[in-house]
Amino acid sequence: MTKRQENIAVLESEGLGYLVQALIDKGYEVLGPRIKDGAVTYDQIETVRDLPIGWTDRQEPGSYRLVKSGKKTYFDYAVGPHSWKKYLHPPETRLWEARRDEQGFTVIEPERETAKKALLGVRPCELQALAIQDTVFTGGPYLAPGYQERRSNLFIVAVNCVRPGGTCFCASMKTGPKATSGFDLALTEILESGRHYFVVEVGSASGEELLSDLPTKVADDAEKEAAAKAMERATAKMGRELDTKGIRELLYKCFDDPHWQTVADRCFSCGNCTMVCPTCFCVNVEDGTDLSGQQAERWSRWDSCFTRDFSYIHGGSIRFTVKARYRQWMTHKLAYWLDQFGTLGCVGCGRCITWCPAGIDITEEVRALRDKEQSEKVQSV
Ligand code: SF4
Ligand code: SF4
């Protein structure tokens, strides 16, 4: 562990405004949690007054409600429907355009994105989701256009989860509730005995430089203890868990299990789970021209394994049943992903459970398959 990482500071709650302003002064566009359309979403932050002060949420399968917490905390909510992937892997990206000219046509590359962005309030599970998308988009021989530039211009302020949501299961996925890497600064918000402050950990030279501009002090043992206790309480309050032991083998074994049909009977194949998921990355590539034929464009747009056309190959879809699509989604996340990228494709954020209109719960579906597998084993002994 470096000297820098051992350095734990305390920033009083009023100091958060200085942190936001210091980022703006350094030329960052600050993006963070804001209340919009009845949910905590991610958008531009100009002052701490934009943050969801005094709001928390109640999340259950197929249900999300914002409620007043009665406290003056900034980050007392669990993740909402947005994820940071909208900034790094945008829902729509123009890959190139071409214009007709005297020589035939000219291809115009899209402008490179060089704007510096600071992400404020990144949860530990979301740091892991960013790391997974890094592997997907930059870990192989072909780099996703623009991703590397967007990624390298980020400053990340993580915020540890002191109050997990009802659908969270990061503890069992070992992705939270405490951030361990992938951030410039990591905050733990403490409101105890009338005192409101942040315990701050430094994760990079940029984080250290920013922190030196803020009114902080070195954390004492009681403040470090308060942050550690908050993490213990959060782990104990986790809404769900997913047992990942032998999960790849379990899912491969259950490929033809009739249980997939019982999920399909409830699933609308709406694709909400893939849209809200911070690791899902599939896109469709669409070409178009203007009516005069002078200009053509190629766009990449988020797609979902729940649409029938997603698996369209030479005259037909190869996954034309909802059963095949749900099985593909879950088996990719928890089995094929390990073969492709060496990691699971799920970080336990719980969004797919909360935002599923049918309340389908990935942790319950794995449990159901595991229970069936166990009982079949017992019967065959
Ligand atoms: S599992 Fe839920 S969110 Fe996903 S496609 Fe089916 S109904 Fe929609
Ligand atoms: S599969 Fe569900 S719980 Fe896992 S990362 Fe995606 S949205 Fe979160």
* Per-residue model confidence (pLDDT) at position 22: 98
Q: Flag whether pLDDT at 80 surpasses 90.
A: yes
- Looking at the predicted structure, is the pLDDT value of residue 2 above 70? no
264 lines ligand 1 (CB under 6 A): no
d(CA 235, CA 96): 46
Cis upstream peptide for 177 (omega within 30°):
yes
**Across residues 138-148, what is the average pLDDT?**
90
Pocket test for ligand 2, best of 130, 133, 270, 279 (most atoms within 8 A of CB): 279
pLDDT band with cut points at 50, 70 and 90 for residue 377: confident
**Shortest-distance atom of ligand 2 to CA 350:** 3
Q: How confident is the model at residue 379 (pLDDT cuts 50, 70, 90)?
A: confident
Query: With a 6 A CB cut-off, is 163 part of the ligand 2 pocket?
Result: no
Q: Are 189 and 75 in contact (CB under 8 A)?
A: yes
Which band of pLDDT confidence, cut at 50, 70 and 90, is reported for residue 267?
very high
Ligand 2, atom 5, residue with closest C-alpha: 346
Q: Helix (H, G, I), strand (E, B), or coil: what is residue 150?
A: helix
**What is the atom index within ligand 2 of the atom nearest the CA of 129?**
5
DSSP 8-class letter at 347? -
Q: CA of 135: how far to CAs of 303, 341, 345, 349, in Å?
A: 19, 7, 11, 19
Q: What is the pLDDT of residue 4?
A: 46
Residue 3, pLDDT above cutoff 60? no
Average pLDDT over residues 182-209: 97
pLDDT at 155: 98
| pLDDT tens per residue across span 339-362 | 999 999 999 999 999 999 999 999
Mean pLDDT for 258-274 is 98
Q: Domain ranges for the chain, please list them.
A: 3-236, 247-380
| pLDDT (average), residues 210-231 | 96
* Stronger pLDDT, 199 or 239, i.e. the higher one: 199
Which residue type occupies 24? I
pLDDT digits (tens, 9 = 90+) for 223-242: 999 999 999 999 999 989 99
Separation of CA 257 from chain center:
30
Residue of 313, 348, 310, 314 whose CA lies nearest to 328 = 310
**Which comes out higher in pLDDT, residue 142 or 14?**
14
Ligand closest to the CA atom of residue 82: 2
Write down the pLDDT at residue 103: 87
Alpha-carbon distance of 265 to 247, in angstroms, equals 23
Q: Using a pLDDT cut of 90, give the percent of the chain over it.
A: 90
Look at residue 53 and tell me whether its pLDDT is greater than 50.
Answer: yes
Angle at 158 between CA 152 and CA 162, to 5 degrees: 160
Q: How distant is the alpha carbon of residue 131 from its chain centre? A: 10
Strand 154-159 and strand 117-122: pairing?
parallel
Q: What percent of the chain has pLDDT over 70?
A: 98
The CA 277 to ligand 2 mean position distance, Å, reads 5
Q: What is the pLDDT of residues 281-320, one digit of tens each?
A: 999 999 999 999 999 999 999 999 999 999 999 889 999 9
| 362 ligand 2 Cβ < 6 A | yes
Query: Within the chain, what is the greatest distance between any pair of CA atoms?
Result: 78
CA of 152 to the centre of ligand 1 (A): 33
The predicted model gives 32-61 an average pLDDT of 98
What ligand has the least distance to the C-alpha of 61? 1
For ligand 2, mutation pick of 351, 354, 366 (most atoms within 8 Å of CB): 351
Question: 1: pLDDT confidence band, cut at 50, 70 and 90?
Answer: very low
pLDDT grade, residue 6 (50/70/90)?
low
Q: What separation in Å is there between the alpha carbon of 168 and the centre of ligand 2?
A: 9
**For residue 295, how far is its CA from the centre of ligand 1 (angstroms)?**
38
The per-residue pLDDT of the chain, averaged, comes to: 95
Dihedral angle, C-alpha 73, 76, 81, 82, nearest 10 °: 50
How far does the centroid of ligand 1 lie from the alpha carbon of residue 237, in Å? Answer: 26
